[in-house]
């Protein structure tokens, strides 16, 4: 539509966008594993910080390698199956972020009524977001159960492949969590089920690590 040389700028914009999308996929995952490792919910090595760049280098490398190991073979073996796994990813994202929203409200529940700002930003907004994502999760499950929503058209037990993949990964996560629990790690699993933020931490008077 634009003609030369403007078409080159469009290609450059798309490539830049693709690069940014890849980075925003790796960065949250590596920071999540960093946080979990620091909380003793994942292996300690994932919580290491690079002395020069001050980033979770091990988490970043492992996350990137896992993404490459999953994407590249599927790209060549079955692009349709790859697209089905991307559809299944929507379930995992909705599930994960909905739990984060509920956890925010529970963790900061004693701070919610201290001022309007707290009530809106760490109470109402996360709760509404969590409820919306829960709704999307179940609606997506119903949609992805239809084999016609699958790029491969494959089914398992009468269910569309994206739903099977999404629920399979959730089950795998539960198995890993159970194995980690059976392996000990009382410092993480021994924490109160409905713990709240320390008042000093909420007031920014002391760092969370020092408070613990």
Name the range with the highest mean pLDDT among 3-12, 124-133, 160-169.
124-133
pLDDT at 194: 80
- pLDDT value of position 17: 81
Q: What is the pTM of this model?
A: 0.76
**Domain parsing of the chain, residue ranges:** 56-211
Q: What is the pLDDT of residues 135-187, one digit of tens each?
A: 999 999 999 898 888 888 888 888 888 999 999 999 999 999 899 888 888 87
pLDDT of residue 208: 59
Structure tokens at 149: 């929503």
Q: Which two tokens stand for residue 146?
A: 């239809």
Whole-angstrom distance, CA of residue 73 vs CA of residue 62: 17
């Amino acid at each position: 539509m634009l003609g030369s040389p403007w078409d080159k700028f469009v290609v450059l914009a798309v490539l830049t966008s693709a690069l940014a999308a890849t980075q925003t996929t790796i960065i949250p995952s590596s920071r999540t594993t960093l946080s979990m490792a620091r909380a003793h919910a994942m292996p300690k090595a994932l919580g290491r910080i690079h002395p020069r760049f001050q980033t979770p280098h091990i988490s970043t490398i492992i996350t990137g390698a896992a993404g490459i190991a999953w994407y590249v073979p599927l790209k060549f073996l079955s692009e349709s199956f790859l697209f089905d796994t991307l559809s299944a990813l929507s379930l995992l994202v909705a599930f994960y972020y909905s739990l984060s929203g509920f956890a925010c409200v529970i963790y900061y529940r004693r701070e919610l009524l201290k001022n309007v700002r707290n009530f809106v930003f760490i109470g109402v907004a996360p709760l509404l977001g969590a409820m919306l994502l829960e709704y999307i999760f179940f609606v997506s499950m119903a949609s992805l159960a239809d084999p016609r929503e699958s790029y491969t058209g494959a089914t398992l037990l009468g269910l569309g492949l994206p739903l099977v993949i999404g629920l399979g990964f959730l089950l795998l996560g539960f198995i890993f969590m159970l194995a980690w629990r059976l392996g000990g790690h009382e410092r993480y699993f021994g924490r109160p089920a409905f713990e709240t933020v320390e008042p000093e931490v909420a007031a920014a008077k002391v760092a969370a690590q020092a408070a613990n």
